[in-house]
Amino acid sequence: MAVTIDPVVFWERLSKLHKTWNTARETEGSVWKGTDALVIEAGESDEDRLYSKSQSLQTWLLGWEFPETILVVGNRAVHVLTSKKKVGHLEPLKTAENATLPLELLARDKTDNSANYASLVQAIRRSHAGAVVGTLLKEEPKGAFVGAFRDALKADGLEQLEIAPALCELLAVKDSTEQACVKRASIFSAVVMQKYLVQRIESVVDEEKKISHEQLAADTEDAFADPLKLNVKLSPELLESCYTPIIQSGGKFNLKPTAASNSDNLYYGAITCSLGARYKSYCSNVGRTYMINPTKHQEKTYKLLLELQAEAIAALKPGAKVSAAMTAVVNRIKSKAPHLEKLLTKNVGFGTGIEFKESFLPLNMKCETLVRPGMVFNVALGFENVEDKEATDKRGRTYAVFLADTVLVTETGAAEVYTDKAPKQWADVSYYLKDGDDDDEPAGGRRGEVEILDSRTRSSGRGASEKQDTSELLAGHQAELEAKMREEALAKVRAGTSNTAGPSVAADTPIAYRDANGYPAALKTNQTHVDGKAEALLVPINGRLVPFHISCIRSITKAEEGAYTHLRINFIVPVSTAASAQQMPKEADKDAHFIKELTFKAKNAVNLNNTFRLVKELRKRVTTREKQTAMEADLVVQEALQLIRTGKIHRLRDVNVRPNVGGKKAPGTLELHVNGLRFQAARGERLDLPFKNIKLAFFQPAEKEILVLMHFHLHNPIMIGKKKTKDVQFYVEIMEASYSLDNAHRSGFDPDELEEEQRERALRNRMNQEFQNFVRKVEEQAKDLEFDIPYRELGFHGVPPHNKSTSFIMPAVNALVELTEPPWFVCPLNDIEVAHFERVVMGLKNFDMVLVLKDFNQKPVQVSAINVQHLDALKTWLDSCNVKFYEGPANLNWGQIMKHINEIGLEGFYDDGGWKFLDMHGDSDDEDEEDPEDAESDFEPSGGSGSEEEESSDEDFSEVDSDEEGSDEASEGSLDSDESEGKDWDEMEQMAKEDDKRRGKYEGEEEGKPKSKKAKSKGEYSDDDEERPKKVAKSGSGGSMFGSKGSSSNAKPGSSKSGSSSKGLGKSSMR
Question: Do 330 and 277 reside in the same domain of the chain?
Answer: yes
Instruction: Compute the average pLDDT of residues 757-763.
Output: 82
Q: Strand, coil or helix: what is 546?
A: strand
What residues make up the domain containing 123?
A: 7-172
CATH number at residue 611: 2.30.29.210
* Residue 507 confidence (pLDDT): 52
pLDDT for res 38:
94
- Whether 427 and 571 map to the same domain: the answer is no
Q: Which residues of 140-150 are buried (b: 16+ CB within 10 A; e: fewer)?
A: ebbeebbeebb
pLDDT higher than 80, residue 747: no
In a domain, 343, yes or no: yes
Q: Are 12 and 37 found together in one domain?
A: yes
pLDDT score recorded for residue 951: 41
Judge whether residue 997 has pLDDT over 70: no
| Strand, helix or coil for residue 597 | strand
In this prediction, residues 417-426 reach a mean pLDDT of 93
% of the chain with per-residue pLDDT over 70 = 77
Of residues 14 and 1023, more confidence is placed in 14
The pLDDT, as a whole number, for residue 952 is: 40
Cα–Cα distances in Å, from 828 out to 277, 472, 482?
Answer: 30, 27, 20
Q: Is residue 1026 scored above 70 in pLDDT? A: no
**In the predicted structure, residue 441 carries a pLDDT above the cut 50:** no
Rounded to 10 degrees, the C-alpha dihedral 537/541/546/552 comes to: -50
274 and 182 within one domain: yes
Average pLDDT on 318-338 reads 94
Rounded average pLDDT over 83-102: 90
Which of 418, 436, 457 is the C-terminal boundary of a domain? 457
**Which residue, 701, 696, 695, 677, is CA-closest to 687?**
677
Mark which of 600, 632, 664 sits at the end of a domain: 632
**What distance in Å separates the CA atoms of residue 324 and residue 312, rounded to the nearest whole number?**
8
Number of Cβ within a 10 Å radius of residue 418:
23
Calpha distance 137→144 (Å, rounded): 16
Q: Is the pLDDT of residue 455 over 70?
A: no
Residue 1021 has pLDDT above 70, yes or no: no
Residue 731 lies in a domain: no
Residue-wise pLDDT for 904-937, tens only, equals: 888 888 888 888 888 865 544 444 444 444 444 3
Lowest mean pLDDT of 538-542, 590-594, 757-761, 984-988, name the range: 984-988
pLDDT in tens, 120-172: 999 999 998 889 999 998 888 888 888 899 999 999 888 999 999 999 999 99
Q: Residue 189 pLDDT more than 90?
A: yes
To which H or E segment does residue 153 belong?
A: helix 144-156
50: Cβ–Cβ under 8 A, 6 or more apart, which residues? 243, 356
Same domain, 184 and 270: yes
Q: What is the pLDDT of residue 705?
A: 84
Has residue 1026 been placed in a domain? Answer: no
> Quick check: is 1065 in a domain?
no
**pLDDT > 90: percent of the chain:** 44
pLDDT of 903 > 70? The answer is yes
Average pLDDT over residues 638-659: 88
Residue 789 — pLDDT band, cuts 50, 70, 90?
very high
Asked if 223 and 345 sit in the same domain, the reply is yes
96 contact partners, CB below 8 Å, separation of at least 6 = 7, 8, 10, 11
In a domain, 787, yes or no: no
Average pLDDT over residues 1013-1023: 38
Among 426, 457, 488, residue at a domain's last position: 457
pLDDT value of residue 1001: 41
230 φ/ψ angles, rounded to the nearest 5 degrees: -100, 15
Residues 138 and 19 reside in one and the same domain: yes
Is pLDDT at 446 greater than 50 in this prediction?
A: no
Query: What is the pLDDT at residue 945?
Result: 40
Distance between CA atoms of 254 and 248, rounded to whole angstroms? 8
User: Do residues 531 and 386 share a domain?
Assistant: no
Strand partners of residue 816: 811, 827
Q: Answer yes or no: is 608 within a domain.
A: yes
pLDDT at site 617: 92
Work out the pLDDT band at 298, boundaries 50, 70, 90: very high
Average of pLDDT values for 989-1002?
62
One-letter identity of residue 177: T
pLDDT in tens, 950-991: 444 444 433 333 343 444 444 444 444 344 344 555 666 677
The reply to whether 418 falls in a domain is yes
Query: At residue 462, what are phi and psi to the nearest 5 degrees?
Result: -80, 150
Tell me the CATH number at 229.
3.90.230.10
Contacts of 57 (CB under 8 A, 6+ apart): 40, 71, 167, 171
pLDDT at 498: 60
Average pLDDT over residues 561-566: 90
Residue 1002 has pLDDT above 60, yes or no: no
Report whether pLDDT(592) > 80.
no
CB 451 within 8 A of CB 433: yes
Q: What rounded mean pLDDT belongs to the chain?
A: 80
Interatomic CA distance for residues 129 and 33, integer angstroms:
13
Which positions ≥6 away from 737 have C-beta within 8 Å?
A: 706
pLDDT (0 to 100) of residue 949: 40
- DSSP state letter for 196: I
Q: Residue 800 contacts by C-beta under 8 Å, 6 or more apart in sequence? A: 807, 809, 818, 823, 825, 863
Which segment of 185-189, 573-577, 980-984 scores lowest on mean pLDDT? 980-984
Q: What is the largest CA-CA distance in the chain?
A: 122
Q: Any idea what the Cα angle at residue 557 is, between residues 555 and 560, rounded to 5°? A: 175
Tally of domains within the chain = 3
CATH number at residue 50: 3.40.350.10
- Position 240 scores a pLDDT of 92
Select, from the ranges 163-167, 1048-1052, 1065-1069, the one with the highest average predicted confidence (pLDDT): 163-167
pLDDT at 671 over 50: yes
Using CA atoms, how far residue 786 sits from 175, 232, 776, 783, 926, in Å, is 16, 16, 9, 8, 50
Task: Count CB neighbours of 613 within 10 A.
Answer: 12
At residue 818 the predicted structure's pLDDT band, cuts being 50, 70 and 90, is very high
Query: Per residue in 235-250, pLDDT tens?
Result: 888 899 999 999 999 9
Cis before 659? omega within 30: yes
Is 140 within 8 Å of 54 (Cβ atoms)? no
233 pLDDT band (50/70/90 cuts)? confident
Where is 720: in which H helix or E strand? strand 707-720
Residue 736: per-residue pLDDT? 56
Instruction: Name the residue type at position 286.
Output: V
Q: Rounded CA gap, 116 and 801, in Å?
A: 69
Lowest mean pLDDT among 181-185, 401-405, 1042-1046: 1042-1046
Whether residue 255 sits in one domain with residue 280: yes
In angstroms, how far is CA 708 from the centroid of its own chain? 17
* Tens of pLDDT, residues 371-417: 999 999 999 999 999 998 888 788 888 999 999 999 999 988 778 99
Listed in sequence order, the DSSP H helices in 197-353 are 198-206, 213-222, 296-315, 324-336
436 φψ region: left (φ > 0), alpha (ψ -120 to 50), beta (else): left
Same domain, 533 and 568: yes
Distance between CA atoms of residues 961 and 582, nearest Å: 10
Quick one: pLDDT at residue 825?
94
pLDDT digits (tens, 9 = 90+) for 344-356: 999 999 999 999 9
Of the listed ranges 94-98, 259-263, 269-273, 624-628, the least confidently predicted one is: 624-628
**Do 165 and 234 have their domain in common?**
no
CA-closest candidate to residue 404, choices 610, 242, 641, 532: 242
Q: How many other C-beta atoms can be found within 10 angstroms of the C-beta atom of residue 211?
A: 15
d(CA 926, CA 533): 65
Give the contacts of 862 (CB within 8 A, at least 6 positions apart).
Answer: 801, 848, 849, 850, 851, 894, 1053, 1054
Closest CA to 883 of 829, 804, 928: 829
Three-state SS at 38: strand
pLDDT greater at residue 139 or residue 712: 712
pLDDT of 919: 80
Mean pLDDT of 482-501: 73
Q: Residue 642 domain-assigned?
A: no
Q: Residue 208: pLDDT band by 50, 70, 90 thresholds?
A: confident
Residue 1061, pLDDT > 70, answer no
Quick one: 147 and 189 in the same domain? Answer: no
Q: Are 600 and 566 in contact (CB under 8 A)?
A: yes
CA 477/CA 920 separation, integer angstroms? 19
- Is the pLDDT confidence value at 496 over 80? no
Neighbour order of strands in the sheet with 78-82: 103-107, 78-82, 69-73, 37-42, 132-135, 159-162
Interval 175-189 mean pLDDT: 93
Q: How far apart (Å, rounded) are the C-alpha atoms in residues 405 and 436?
A: 37
Looking at per-residue pLDDT, the higher value among 150 and 439 belongs to 150
pLDDT (mean) for 49-54:
83
